[in-house]
Amino acid sequence: MPDQPAVSTPQPASAIPWADQLCEAIRQRNSAVCVGLDPRTQQLPISLAPPAGADNAAIAECYRRFSEGIIDAVADLVPVVKPQAAFFEQLGPAGTVALAQVIDHAIDAGLLVVLDAKRNDIGTTAEAYAAAYLGRTSPWHSDALTVSPYLGDDSLDPFVDACDRSAAGIFVLVKTSNPGGRFLQDRRADGEAIYQTVAKWVTQANASRLGRFGYGPVGAVVGATYPEQLAELRAAMPGTLILIPGFGAQGGAAADVAAGFDSRGLGAIVNNSRNILFAYQRPEFAETYGPARWQDAARQATVEMNQQLNEIRSSGG
């Protein structure tokens, strides 16, 4: 019989609310960096690149080894990683097995995991998504999940209920980093932008769920590419953790994300994917590290990002 994939086993559940887990991890690591795990075949170091004509199973194995190598390189430097489900799902069943292995490897390394899958639906389908992804005892073991709000507030309720049961969290898409996000998010209705309406719902959902650091389990995605709106939303959502994409390859810099933090340097995590994962290809690292030392390059890029963010965090944003 062919070898069967390893069966994923339930991870220990935490009684500590998600927001408190994340804030404590940020303090312990002295880092607000979230490393995005977005493996891409064309950018893998040559030692991990799949051979020409490789099937999806072989590529998935390369993605697993690469992602776990990144985790090993940065685990003591950051509080959280964010696997992007799409890069694994495009490889079919083998890719989803690899994704599950990567999540468990991150957990074993002492990291929190935000699964970037942008799920949602209505009714029992939303309940099924929540049961699948939220909490260490869920099949996917992820601590938090990105969620779309555009099916309405009733579609979000099952995810919030799952957060209550599982000490998990969600990050609702409020103001995304892509230029096209304004097509819907900036449209006005009843005197306010759609993203402002979503932000109000997020704030209300957290109101009765604030933990010891003053944050609830319902987070918000707000892009670094919109620093003015980030400042606006930080003020409008004082009890909301913010996941900030768009740093690095998309053009966001430390100054652009400063407004996302509270006076304690908490309240936000800043995602960086390509500029860390493939740092060995960046001009400033290529000569020193190159493909053979891709993990060292990723670690150094993370150290430098920590330094950049900690300067603004220590100044109270």
Q: Which residues are catalytic?
A: 118
Closest to 120 in 3D by CA, of 78, 87, 154: 154
CB contact at 8 A, 81 and 102 = no
Contacts of 29 (CB under 8 A, 6+ apart): 76, 77, 78, 79
Count of beta carbons in the 10 Å neighbourhood of residue 191: 7
DSSP E strands: which ranges in 61-206? 80-83, 112-119, 144-147, 169-175, 188-189, 192-193
Find tokens 């604030």 and name the residue.
210
CA distance 264 to 188: 33
CB contact at 8 A, 32 and 77 = no
Q: What count of Cα atoms within 13 Å lies in the side-chain half-sphere of residue 280?
A: 17
CB contact at 8 A, 218 and 170 = yes
